[in-house]
Structure 1
């Protein structure tokens, strides 16, 4: 099945999985650090906010590896878009526009509230989907299993509420 953007064929799932496993194991082997992105927000904030919370050694000490990881994620996404046929900012949100049809201000509000809820869930679970779903599950950690199942269930319920009940 082609990708939504540009009709390109996606890379095989097994190759993407092997790539994620390689990055996870390389990070663990090279720096003895766990893969996870949510703490990266704290790392970025520590660059500009001088609050004591962001000055903790746990945050400042991980800037050397987590900031390049985050930069690589952004750069990789950008390069993928450009090399895959071009990148262009847009307000188009596909099915959301068709089903709900809010204007730009409504979309910004929707994304802001969604971001708050994702941030709350990440803090409540003690980590993000990448940390729990990739690294925690590979270590057979029960809290990661509970968190990942909760993330997936919340996504399924939210999608069904929006596209089957509200619309």
Structure 2
């Protein structure tokens, strides 16, 4: 089945899985660190906010590799968009616009509140979907299984609530 954009043929899912496994194993074997993106955002906050929470050793000691990881994620996404047929910034949110239609201020508020909830959830769970879903599950950690199932269930419930009940 071709991708939605530009009718490109997708790679087999196993290729992406093998790539994620290689990155995870390389990170663990070379640096002895766990993969996870949410702590990287804490590193970014620590550069700006001088609260004691951001001064703890787990945050201060991981700037050397987490900040380049975040930069690589942004750069990789940008390059993928450009090389995949072009990139054009837009405020269009598809179904959100047609069904809810709050305008630019409403979209900004929606994204801000969503970001706060995601941040709260990742701190409550002790990590994000990449940390728990990729690294924690591969180590057969029960808290990661509970967190990943919770993330997926919350996403399914929220999507159904918004698009089947509210709209």
TM-score by length of 2: 0.95
Using the alignment, how far apart are the partners of 2:108 and 2:9 within structure 1?
A: 30
Question: C-alpha deviations, 1:46-81, integer Å up to 9, x for none?
Answer: 222233322222211101111111111111111101
- Aligned residue number for residue 124 of structure 2: 124
Structure 1 residue ranges without an equivalent (≥5): none
Q: Which moved more, 1:40-49 or 1:102-111?
A: 40-49
Kindly state the Cα deviation for residue 108 of structure 1 after the two structures are TM-superposed.
0.7
Using the alignment, how far apart are the partners of 2:144 and 2:21 within structure 1?
A: 17
SS at match of 2:11: coil
Q: Which moved more, 1:52-61 or 1:116-125?
A: 52-61
Kindly state the Cα deviation for residue 4 of structure 1 after the two structures are TM-superposed.
3.0
Off by >4 Å, runs of 4+ in structure 1: none
Provide closer, same or farther for how the CA distance between residues 100 and 120 of structure 1 changes in structure 2, counting only shifts above 3 A.
Answer: same
Kindly state the Cα deviation for residue 3 of structure 1 after the two structures are TM-superposed.
2.7
Structure 2 residue ranges without an equivalent (≥5): none
Kindly state the Cα deviation for residue 10 of structure 1 after the two structures are TM-superposed.
2.3
Question: C-alpha deviations, 1:120-161, integer Å up to 9, x for none?
Answer: 111110100000000000000000000000000000000001
Question: C-alpha deviations, 1:90-147, integer Å up to 9, x for none?
Answer: 0111121122122111111111111111111111101000000000000000000000
SS at match of 2:92: coil
Using the alignment, how far apart are the partners of 1:102 and 1:11 within structure 2?
A: 36
Using the alignment, how far apart are the partners of 1:143 and 1:61 within structure 2?
A: 24
